Structure 1
Amino acid sequence: MNFLYPKFLFALIALLIPVIIHLFGFRRYKAVYFSNINFLKAVKKETDSKSKLKHLLVLIMRMLTLASLIIAFARPYIPEKNEKNKINQNKIAVYIDNSFSTNAESKYGKILDAEKQKAAETADAFPENTKILFLTNDFALKHQHFVSKEQFKNFVGETNISPEIRSISEVSEKIKAVFEDNKIEQRYPVFFISDFQKSSADLNKLKPDSLQERFFIPVTAEKTDNIYIDSVWFENPGRPFNREDIIYVKIKNASKESYTQMPVKLFLNGEMISTGTFNVKANEEITKQLKFINKNTGIINGEVKISDFPVVYDNVFYFNYELADTCKILIISEKGNKNKFITDACNALPHTSVKNISLQKSGYEKFENYNVIISDGLKKITSNLKEKYSDFTENGGILILFPTVNISVTSYNSFLNALNLNYITGKDTTETYADKINYDSRILKDVFKQKEKNPDMPVIFKHLIFGNLSNIKEEVILYSEKNDKLIINSDVSEGKVFIFASYPDKSYGNLIYHPLWTSVLYNMIFYNTAGKKIFYTIGNNEIVRIKYSGDDLPVRIVNKEKNIDIIPQYSKTGKNTYELQLNEVIQKDGHFKIMSGNKILSGISLDYNRKESDLTHYSLEELKKLSKTNQNNIKSVLNTGKHIDKEIINNQNRGINLHIIFLIAAIIFTAAEIIIIKLLNR
């Protein structure tokens, strides 16, 4: 048994006091005269031994009571087997959760401020020569080594709110890695100071560790109610110009109260263009539609806003899309002859620039200058064209194939095989009808208001037949009544390939006169804006894909209002395509430009991770229950109040504490003294 405050044991000298009191009664005697003392002699003989026994027992009880109190104040404990090694190590780890949720109010002010105070007080519980590993959610390189207490307190003072989210298990593994790198093989205490949100405190994944002694110091929010925008999206593949569009907004209510008539607003390029209200029940979510009309082209920066307190970082959701000033379409035909139905349909579309060339001239054309290439009735796909088509789709282009039934099946299949698409197996020149429509296809969004039971379908006079290899991923948009594929949609690398099994000519059927024709062609041509993500999440290590054919590298990500101008890591993935690694280079939400020199290549929008928006946390009772089971190697949960008493920290690190036992013993001995006095006085 060891003592936390051994100097208190000098107080055991005080045990002499009751001995002295009992040896010298310090009584004053009063003379009483009797005529006969024989009776008194008999009484004295009868009570003398009883009195001595009483005084002796009382003396023993008082000495035991005093000794128990003195030992209790000396804080006795039984050290653990590795205790000496642990104390000699003088190395500890302290983690502060500085995620967005710690900006909420606790009982003692801002959670982060309270955490910083507790971190400093935790360090004060250890000797001055203690080396401390300090971590926050940022996992900053400057923190990933041991520092003095003074430097540790400087780091704590510099800690600010961060958009980064770290799980408890992730932090534990990072700490373990640093200790292993320093070849420390002795037990060490780790202090987790956090609000212990259930969304990030993955205690079920916290692995037992024979070296880590984990201490949880919770600092929780007084109010956990929050309404936030979870995400936004478009269901249509492309953004229509000067036509009604719809953005979908998912709003979550992470509270026990229901809300009605809450306002929501949509801004495009800083201008409010749509408003609405929503009702949401307690702990539920809703999807709100906001309708608007695209009146501008170019990069469109959008924001959806709600009003909710006290957590405000998730009240705004940033998104971004591009509406090209001009969609450039290249039509390649056998001899440059225009197919009236294809050319007229393309020219009728808004913001399009259409160019027709012959197959012979296609070798001189730069395909990368176009958004969409239409292969119009080519009899064969030459090796040169095959290579250029492949590069075009690989770099994110839209390729639309209109083969006739009189083609070189071998050359087409060679091309289709190179793109891992289903090959042509034959042709059908008998009359049939289009029969089954894939209403779930993104190409058919807004084409049909509802699913009709007996729709008027186009008649097909002749068409090609395609195979059905199971390993080929494709979306069939339209089937014939014979279950043949009439319109096929396939992803190829970063691009799209659409194939019409029936050529758009009146000799092939009446598809060209059907409303389906222009609607489908429109959605295909403007599909090139659908593949681009409309937002990215900070901290998710996401990749941004861009097209760029210039030589002025590297590209930069810029936001002048936020003083951000950085060069991200990037890699070339195609002839004119690049991947930008966002990693953790940007820690602020908002709209950003991707630039090369003074040229704007694209735009992106970044949003904070909504994982922090649900403020539900583990209660103190839940944490203590986990600590008692010890399944996750949790040493203790410290309910510290406003300040941390360093004695509490010291007690937790000393092994099995015995002072409570000695306090109870003092009470028992005092009670025993009272009982003895009463019994022997009868």
Structure 2
Amino acid sequence: MNFLYPGFLFALLSVAIPVIIHLFNFRKFKKVYFSNVQLLKEVEQQNSSREKLKNFLILFSRILALIFLVLAFAQPYIPLKGQKTTNQNNSISIYIDNSYSMEAINKDGNLLDEAKRRAKELIEGFGVNDRFQLLTNDFEGKHQRLLNADEFLKALDDVQISAANRNLQQILNRQGNVLTGSVNKYSFIISDFQKNIAKGPTLSTKKDIQYAFIKLNATGLPNVAVDSVWTLSPNHQPGASEKLVVQLKNYSDEEATNIPLKLTINNQQKGLSAMTISAGKTKTDTLSFSGLKAGWKKGQIAIKDFPVTFDDTLSFSFKVDESLSVLSINGANAGNYIKALFAADNYYKLTENGENNINYSGFANYGLIVLNGLKNPSTGLVQQLKTYLNAGGAIVIFPDLDANIQTYNAFLSGLSLPIIQSLNTTETKVDQIDLQNPIFKTVFEDIPKNLDLPVAQRYFSFIESNSANKENILSFPGGKLFFAKYGAGNGAVYLSATGLNSGDGNLARHPVFVPLMYRLALNAGNETAMYYNLGNDNALASKKINLGKNQTLKLSAKNFEAIPEIRQVNGKTLIYIADQIKSAGFYNLNLADSLISVYAINSGRTESDMHYLSKTTLDNLAAESNLKVFDADKDAVKLIAGANKIGQTLWKLCLILSLIFIAAEILLIRFFNNPKKTI
């Protein structure tokens, strides 16, 4: 036998009180004078031995009543078979799932409210000296400490639905960080157990913690969500036609018909559509709009789908630039074709550097860098271009065909591009153009049968050992490289087999050259994410931001303001938000009074799938003997909150015995002392 609260055993010293009363309760006899023997007939005669027995029994009853009353407060129990007996207190961690799915309704009402009720029932099964951790998906710092019962219940009332979500292993690890020391440790997970909560076939648990999953049962609901959105061009011109691709997903087991979809930009309606989506499928739609002015734009895609609504909107942001900066690094014999091309459109702002006078520090400010006829590209240029590519930049290389091939190969190898095999001087015509490539996809309204393509008088032949990273845009016969795209870092390199001089061919004078370069520039910007998700994305990306002395960035929204941590990585500035942002919406990044960026933060879509793990699946996850699964509709919470966790409790028996001995004392005083009359 053991005691939950052995401290109360000190109260057994109170047993001395009735003993002291019994020992010092001496009766003083008073003399009564009488003159008539007749008065003796009325004197009550008591037997001396009978009186002593009565007093002893009363004392015994009082002592036992006190002993069992003290034991009731100490709460004795018999431990379960094989369980160590210990006088330690209990530490209990209770996780309340407060994700969006807990807004669902079942026969008992809102799931979050039911989870709170279950938590309160658990608390009632423990004692005043036990300590509790309240854990939610927010993983806040205040959740990393133990509370007494009153503090826990107060914190429990403050739990609200959150956009954050966690998997089971993250939750168990977080609880394990708090449940330490030489105490009895208990972990409770109260959740609807959506399928997304389990990330693996098994769970890692600690042997000294007793785990229990309490599964709440939700009513299955149909749901359609705005899954994602992206634009067909990373760069946006004022007044230009824009195309936005929207993807919806039907998470239900039935077809969703005529789901209305609306696009707004800066609170102005820009597009309407309706979509029918098969059960469990995704579907995309392309919305066209135009008429945008320069500046940051706040967009939103919205659908109408009840009763699950948290994923019916998706916010995004992008910037319409007044101009696109292009840098051309020219060799001695490069010619003026690049200058003439970009000077014809005011949207493009061209900067030219000579091969021997390159401003490396400004690379991050350009959406496109053109290497035009470089004679002797240096290793320093390679390193700067790699940093630029890692930041998402784009480079076009038109080689100087008279340059030293070995020098060029060292340059190309540094950028992980194919090396030159030889200079070919046989006139060859391009015979293939990829009209489905984003560069040309919207250029031609009608595709001519006999499309005129460029001719090369001289060109480099390349050793192409690996074509997995290659996209042919224009090709020679046999698929040989004429103009192709190669992925590099987070950016892209466009490599031409020929130069732009008239002696090299007619590419610079061919009609395909203008749309090729313009569309390449429009599709080659430093593309930034249109939106981020709460809980998943802890860093926001921006073009490189140069901060002066004592300057700081400020992230702000309605009723929100924070100074984020920043890091400069690969030509980008990363803004770390950690867990500072709690709600979806638009957030402005400012440097002093200047607006640097607008970020759209959305709730993640992991909670959109309203399918749940079965109790059987949870039982398979709970392979450890110290982890049990309980169905809230079938298993009483008191089974895990009370006796089941410690064995057979005896405090009720002790309380009953105390009352019995108090009653025995009363009966002894009332009926044992019956006087006899003698004559």
Report if TM-score (shorter chain) is over 0.5.
yes
* Residue 617 (structure 1) aligns with: 612
Alignment of 1:216-235 (within 5 A): 216-235=213-232
Alignment of 1:204-223 (within 5 A): 204-207=201-204, 209-223=206-220
* Residue 265 (structure 1) aligns with: 262
State the AA in 1 paired with 2:546. S
State the AA in 1 paired with 2:167. S
Contact 1:80 1:656 in 2 (8 A): no
State the AA in 2 paired with 1:614. D
* Residue 105 (structure 1) aligns with: 105
Contact 1:331 1:356 in 2 (8 A): yes
Correspondence 1:463 to 2:459: yes
CA displacement at 1:647 relative to structure 2:
5.9
CA displacement at 1:463 relative to structure 2:
1.1
Alignment of 1:234-273 (within 5 A): 234-239=231-236, 241-273=238-270
1:462–1:132 Cα change, 3 Å: same
State the AA in 2 paired with 1:158. D
* Residue 599 (structure 2) aligns with: 604
CA displacement at 1:430 relative to structure 2:
0.6
Contact 1:260 1:278 in 2 (8 A): yes
Alignment of 1:535-550 (within 5 A): 535-546=531-542, 547-550=544-547
1:542–1:509 Cα change, 3 Å: farther
Correspondence 1:132 to 2:132: yes
Correspondence 1:183 to 2:181: yes
Alignment of 1:391-540 (within 5 A): 392-393=388-389, 396-438=392-434, 441-447=437-443, 455-470=451-466, 473-529=469-525, 531-540=527-536
Q: Bigger shift: 640-649 or 228-237?
A: 640-649
Contact 1:363 1:385 in 2 (8 A): no
Contact 1:237 1:442 in 2 (8 A): no
Deviations 1:330-359 (A, max 9, x none): 33334597523x333323446112244544
Please give the alpha-carbon distance, in whole angstroms, between the structure 2 residues aligned to 1:303 and 1:608: 13
Deviations 1:271-307 (A, max 9, x none): 1111101112333322222222253233222211111
* Residue 645 (structure 2) aligns with: 653
Secondary structure of the structure 2 residue equivalent to 1:314: coil
Deviations 1:504-531 (A, max 9, x none): 3444333345453222212221234363
1:226–1:415 Cα change, 3 Å: same
Alignment of 1:4-153 (within 5 A): 79-82=80-83, 84-85=85-86, 88-153=88-153
Please give the alpha-carbon distance, in whole angstroms, between the structure 2 residues aligned to 1:234 and 1:359: 35
State the AA in 2 paired with 1:128. V
Correspondence 1:551 to 2:548: yes
1:391–1:637 Cα change, 3 Å: closer
CA displacement at 1:613 relative to structure 2:
1.0
State the AA in 2 paired with 1:126. F
1:365–1:582 Cα change, 3 Å: closer
Contact 2:318 2:530 in 1 (8 A): yes
* Residue 41 (structure 2) aligns with: none
* Residue 376 (structure 1) aligns with: 372
Please give the alpha-carbon distance, in whole angstroms, between the structure 1 residues aligned to 2:603 and 2:573: 24
* Residue 271 (structure 2) aligns with: 274
1:426–1:583 Cα change, 3 Å: farther
Alignment of 1:626-641 (within 5 A): 626-627=618-619, 631-633=623-625, 635-640=627-632
1:97–1:203 Cα change, 3 Å: farther
Identity rate, percent: 26
1:531–1:475 Cα change, 3 Å: farther
Contact 1:489 1:498 in 2 (8 A): yes
Which consecutive unaligned segments of at least 5 residues does structure 2 have? Answer: 5-76, 650-679
Greater percentage in helix: 1
* Residue 169 (structure 1) aligns with: 169
Please give the alpha-carbon distance, in whole angstroms, between the structure 2 residues aligned to 1:187 and 1:453: 81
Secondary structure of the structure 2 residue equivalent to 1:466: strand
Deviations 1:90-143 (A, max 9, x none): 222211011111122232232212211221221111111111122111122221
Query: Paired residues, what number?
Result: 577
Secondary structure of the structure 1 residue equivalent to 2:578: coil
1:382–1:227 Cα change, 3 Å: closer
1:591–1:3 Cα change, 3 Å: closer
CA displacement at 1:470 relative to structure 2:
3.8
Please give the alpha-carbon distance, in whole angstroms, between the structure 2 residues aligned to 1:171 and 1:383: 50
Secondary structure of the structure 2 residue equivalent to 1:116: helix
1:429–1:308 Cα change, 3 Å: same
CA displacement at 1:431 relative to structure 2:
1.2
Please give the alpha-carbon distance, in whole angstroms, between the structure 2 residues aligned to 1:444 and 1:96: 53
Secondary structure of the structure 2 residue equivalent to 1:304: strand
* Residue 668 (structure 1) aligns with: none
Please give the alpha-carbon distance, in whole angstroms, between the structure 1 residues aligned to 2:115 and 2:171: 16
Please give the alpha-carbon distance, in whole angstroms, between the structure 2 residues aligned to 1:389 and 1:203: 41
Please give the alpha-carbon distance, in whole angstroms, between the structure 1 residues aligned to 2:137 and 2:379: 54
Candidates 285, 306, 317, aligned match of 2:303: 306
1:600–1:336 Cα change, 3 Å: farther
Please give the alpha-carbon distance, in whole angstroms, between the structure 1 residues aligned to 2:402 and 2:468: 25
Please give the alpha-carbon distance, in whole angstroms, between the structure 1 residues aligned to 2:620 and 2:239: 64
Deviations 1:182-239 (A, max 9, x none): 234x763321111111121457332465333322222333342221111112344544
1:118–1:437 Cα change, 3 Å: same
Please give the alpha-carbon distance, in whole angstroms, between the structure 1 residues aligned to 2:304 and 2:244: 19
- TM-score, length basis structure 2: 0.76
1:368–1:130 Cα change, 3 Å: closer
Please give the alpha-carbon distance, in whole angstroms, between the structure 2 residues aligned to 1:364 and 1:228: 45
1:201–1:253 Cα change, 3 Å: same
Please give the alpha-carbon distance, in whole angstroms, between the structure 2 residues aligned to 1:494 and 1:285: 27
Please give the alpha-carbon distance, in whole angstroms, between the structure 1 residues aligned to 2:117 and 2:385: 63
Please give the alpha-carbon distance, in whole angstroms, between the structure 1 residues aligned to 2:572 and 2:211: 48
CA displacement at 1:368 relative to structure 2:
4.7
1:365–1:208 Cα change, 3 Å: closer
CA displacement at 1:256 relative to structure 2:
3.5
Contact 1:376 1:403 in 2 (8 A): yes
1:117–1:203 Cα change, 3 Å: farther
Contact 1:394 1:495 in 2 (8 A): yes
Contact 2:392 2:526 in 1 (8 A): no
Contact 2:99 2:163 in 1 (8 A): yes
State the AA in 2 paired with 1:172. L
Contact 2:203 2:622 in 1 (8 A): no
* Residue 580 (structure 1) aligns with: 575
Secondary structure of the structure 1 residue equivalent to 2:123: helix
Please give the alpha-carbon distance, in whole angstroms, between the structure 2 residues aligned to 1:450 and 1:555: 53
Please give the alpha-carbon distance, in whole angstroms, between the structure 1 residues aligned to 2:80 and 2:635: 26
CA displacement at 1:492 relative to structure 2:
4.1
Please give the alpha-carbon distance, in whole angstroms, between the structure 2 residues aligned to 1:221 and 1:274: 36
Contact 2:217 2:632 in 1 (8 A): no
* Residue 11 (structure 1) aligns with: none
Please give the alpha-carbon distance, in whole angstroms, between the structure 1 residues aligned to 2:383 and 2:616: 66
